[in-house]
Amino acid sequence: MDTFILLTNQSQGRDRIFRATQYACAFVKYLLRNKSARKELLKKLQALESNMSSGRKLFRLGNTVSSIQAARRATQLSDPVLRFCLTVANLNRALYFICDNVLWARNVGLVRDLDKERWSFNASRLYFLSLVVNLTRDAYVIAQIMVQKTRDRQYQQKVHQHLHEQQDVACVIIPELDAFFFLVYESLKTHPQVVLDTLKNVCDLFIPMDRLGIYPTNAGLVGFCGLLSSLLGILSALKPALRMKP
């Protein structure tokens, strides 16, 4: 209970709970879409999903400034790849939040003459670019971990032992491929925060890809991916050790 209270006291924690609820509603709606006896429940789920979306937009009114500050901090990183990826990702997020804030103002009636579809499309595009750059950063971090692991003598002994124990399998599967997957497993086993961040970004990627028509899916998959990424985000908020740094 104390952990839950700590989570809800954080603005990001509240946003992630709202997000998880929103996408859970979308996913359940898709599962019940052909159930004629569930029309009343579907209406309630639709209303709850809409309320959660509006609540999240209100929570995120200050996120533009936070993203700009994060981009500013990223410019001070010594690693050029991380500096580029994190700066670009946070700037894209800042622009995405600006679009999101304008759409919120349009929905509550503060702005009238606005092309809602165009702003929504631009928001999705910026969100997509931010996720692509974040995944590039994840791939770079994974590659660095793997390079460091290959230089470890203890790991080299493990590889030799693994291939020796799996000789029958290695005869069928290319030994180099088997060694590569073993390297990936050994590298990520001790870096759960990298795995968590990568999975979260991959799940999130399906949302803008569907909206932009890059990879059209359905409301069920979008809802499931959104729910899963939200739960992973909640986990990282509850366990600071699972957050990617920088």
Number of domains present in the structure of the chain: 1
Report pLDDT digits (tens) over 175-231. Answer: 677 778 888 888 899 899 999 999 999 999 999 999 999 999 999 999 999 999 999
The whole-angstrom separation of Cα 167 and Cα 181 is 15
CA gap 102, 95 in Å, rounded? 11
Tens of pLDDT, residues 109-166: 888 888 889 999 999 999 999 999 999 999 999 999 999 988 887 777 777 776 666 6
Dihedral Cα 217, 221, 226, 229, nearest 10 deg? -110
Its domain, for residue 161, covers 2-242
Q: How far apart are CA 39 and CA 3, in angstroms?
A: 36
Phi-psi region of 218 (alpha: psi -120 to 50; beta: other; left: phi over 0): beta
Please state, in angstroms and rounded to a whole number, the distance separating the CA atoms of residues 169 and 207.
Answer: 38
CB 188 within 8 A of CB 145: yes
Those residues whose C-beta lies under 8 Å from the C-beta of residue 46, and which sit 6 or more positions away, are: 25, 29
What is the b/e burial string over 163-202, where b = at least 16 CB atoms within 10 angstroms of the residue's CB? eeeeeeebeeeeeeebbeebbeebbbeeeebbebbbebbe
Band (pLDDT 50/70/90 cuts) for residue 58 is confident
pLDDT, position 121? 95
